[in-house]
A and B are shown apart, each in its own frame.
Chain A
């Protein structure tokens, strides 16, 4: 089972000090969070994509490539990549490029995005959200698997004789998760392709999350990718942890009370009861998250949101330390206990290459050029 953190890249004022970081400070801070996540033993760092303040992360592959150069082991992912408003051709190119630079330590999570104006800003219509997600992914899926693509659809210019470069590393595309909170069509999409399904979970009661995951699992089996309990499931989560639970509540409450996503609404106590947000001791977080599989079955990836709402960087790094050293090691043991042998781990580049029968160089060389009359691969193999 994989554990990690995801960030939405918000730049938010610290309500206890009034201080708000600059974009540059926050960007460097997020890079440091990713490095620290690796150092404390986490498996995944995932970065959001947004195109409006207060978020900085409009260009996730740039950030993730930089992080890849500074890390060795951690898997770099997204939360989420906008499959609706990005050109699927550019997603194919950008993430294959990132995959090469990161030596395969890359997967991505596709989402529709919930900021209405982003659609018109990128020439789309939010009412086509589902249709865009379905069509764009169908194209992305082909671009990574077919060297030359002829294609025509509703939403983008047709393609004739198009080759997306670079080709996926070792001939194996990055693993894809489909994120959705409440759209059964997206659970169905994930099941249809045998891809992963991620439920953000942090704004929903667990019964709703469980119903979405159940649908995905049933349809995964229906499409013949394996039994329902072999489907690849990820969940979001949220925690604030201190050795003493009263300290955690006291320290986190001022951030909670005015946080952009739930501030001025429910009390911290109500929200922690209604959603997976857990504010307390390491043991409380362990107990809450160890119980998740009772609702959704044995699953593959758990990501935590730990750096939003203006929390100072020092605090975030302390959270990472506690998460990595006190919470996740215990959760790993608890999640492994009683886990059936036929339930797979989340696919990695190595496991996907092995499943494909080994690495294959997928380079597509250009035709012979008109000057020398020679094709580059002749020299490459000479």
Chain B
């Protein structure tokens, strides 16, 4: 088996960004968990802020820049996906949604996905369940049971100590999310999406209205 590719999408708007930080850690955790299963894997980062203007161009004119096309291809042709957004106004940010709006229809069907989100405080943590997860359900992707949320102060907690609300430290949650995505990737039967220009039915069938 060839090396698996985990696409890591970060919708963080700053550079550096805590969203990017979480995304990187989730990607690495997945690679390590796959390695523990004897499966070689690598991550490919898709940092959405680098194609933000290109996405606007695509929305307004339908023209895709080579960089955006490559970003889309990286995601749709990956074996697994880590998708992380900062939470804005109770949901994923516009950059995150725009990227997935522009993905070809059905191109993420059966894709194993680990969801992540960041925000200033833990009060936003259920946004993964009520915003990100339904989006990926619509896209036909398969999400891990665990989504990993990181509040700003998670980055200051000791990895050995549970938080005041008895939540496992971020490092443990990241490892758990990575292990779940690795399990989905290891057993996934998904094939990369068909070439959109491929002919899938004969013209005679089309003529017969079938």
Is A188 a contact of B60 with CB atoms below 8 Å? Answer: no
User: Please, which residues of chain B bring their CB within 8 A of the CB of A204?
Assistant: 62-63
Query: Is residue A117 within 8 Å, beta carbon to beta carbon, of the partner chain?
Result: no
The reply to whether A188 and B61 form a contact with Cβ atoms under 8 Å apart is no
A188 B57 Cβ-Cβ under 8 A? no
Whether A265 touches B209, Cβ cut-off 8 Å, given contacts A184-B199, A211-B197, A215-B197, is: no
Q: Are A154 and B209 touching (Cβ within 8 A)?
A: yes
Cβ of B66 < 8 Å from any Cβ of A? yes
Q: Say whether A189 contacts B62, CB under 8 Å.
A: no
B42 beta carbon closer than 8 Å to chain A = no
B57 cross-chain contacts in A, Cβ below 8 A = 265-266, 270-271, 274
Q: How far is the CB of B8 from chain A (nearest CB, A)?
A: 26
Q: Type the 1/0 row for B2-29, where 1 means its CB is closer than 8 Å to any CB of A.
A: 0000000000000000000000000000
**Main SS at interface, chain A:** helix
Contact in complex: A275, B209 (CB < 8 Å): no
Q: Is B159 an interface residue (CB 8 A)?
A: no
Query: Within 8 Å CB of A182, what residues of B?
Result: 196-197
- Number of residues from B at the complex interface, CB < 8 A: 20
Q: Does A175 contact B (CB under 8 A)?
A: no
> Shortest Cβ distance from A216 into chain B, in angstroms?
10
Q: Is B188 at the interface (CB under 8 A from chain A)?
A: no
Q: Is the CB of A203 within 8 A of B207?
A: no
Q: Is the pair B61, A266 in contact by a Cβ cutoff of 8 Å?
A: yes
A99–B209 alpha-carbon span in the complex (Å) = 31
Query: Which B residues between 59 and 87 are near A, CB-CB below 8 angstroms?
Result: 59-66
The A244-300 residues at the B interface (CB cut-off 8 A) are: 261-266, 270-271, 274-275
Could you mark each residue 172-204 of chain B with 1 if its beta carbon is under 8 Å from any beta carbon of chain A, else 0?
Answer: 000000000000000000000000111101010
The reply to whether A271 and B197 contact each other, CB–CB distance below 8 Å, is no
For the A-B complex, the count of residue pairs with Cβ-Cβ distances under 8 Å equals: 66
Query: Are B63 and A203 neighbours in the complex by a CB distance under 8 Å?
Result: yes
A203 to B64, CA, bound (A): 9
- Say yes or no: A205 contacts B63, CB within 8 Å: yes
Q: Which residues of B contact A205 (CB under 8 A)?
A: 63-64, 66
A55 within 8 A of B: no
Q: Is A134 in the interface zone, CB < 8 Å from B? A: yes
In the assembly, what is the distance between CA of A235 and CA of B57, in Å? 22
| A interface residue numbers (CB < 8 A to B) | 130-131, 134-135, 138, 153-154, 182, 184-185, 188-189, 192, 203-205, 211-212, 215, 219, 261-266, 270-271, 274-275
- 27 interchain pairs (CB within 8 A)? A131-B206, A134-B206, A135-B207, A153-B209, A154-B209, A182-B197, A184-B198, A185-B203, A188-B199, A203-B61, A203-B62, A203-B63, A204-B63, A205-B64, A205-B66, A215-B199, A261-B61, A262-B60, A265-B56, A265-B57, A265-B60, A266-B60, A266-B63, A270-B57, A271-B63, A274-B57, A275-B63
Identify the B interface with A (CB < 8 A). 53, 56-57, 59-66, 196-199, 201, 203, 206-207, 209
**Interchain residue pairs A-B with the least CB separation, the first 9:** A265-B60, A266-B57, A262-B61, A192-B203, A184-B197, A134-B206, A274-B63, A265-B57, A184-B199
15 further A-B contacts with Cβ under 8 Å, apart from A154-B209, A203-B63, A274-B65, are: A131-B206, A135-B207, A153-B209, A182-B196, A184-B196, A204-B62, A211-B197, A262-B60, A262-B61, A263-B60, A265-B57, A266-B61, A270-B65, A271-B57, A271-B63
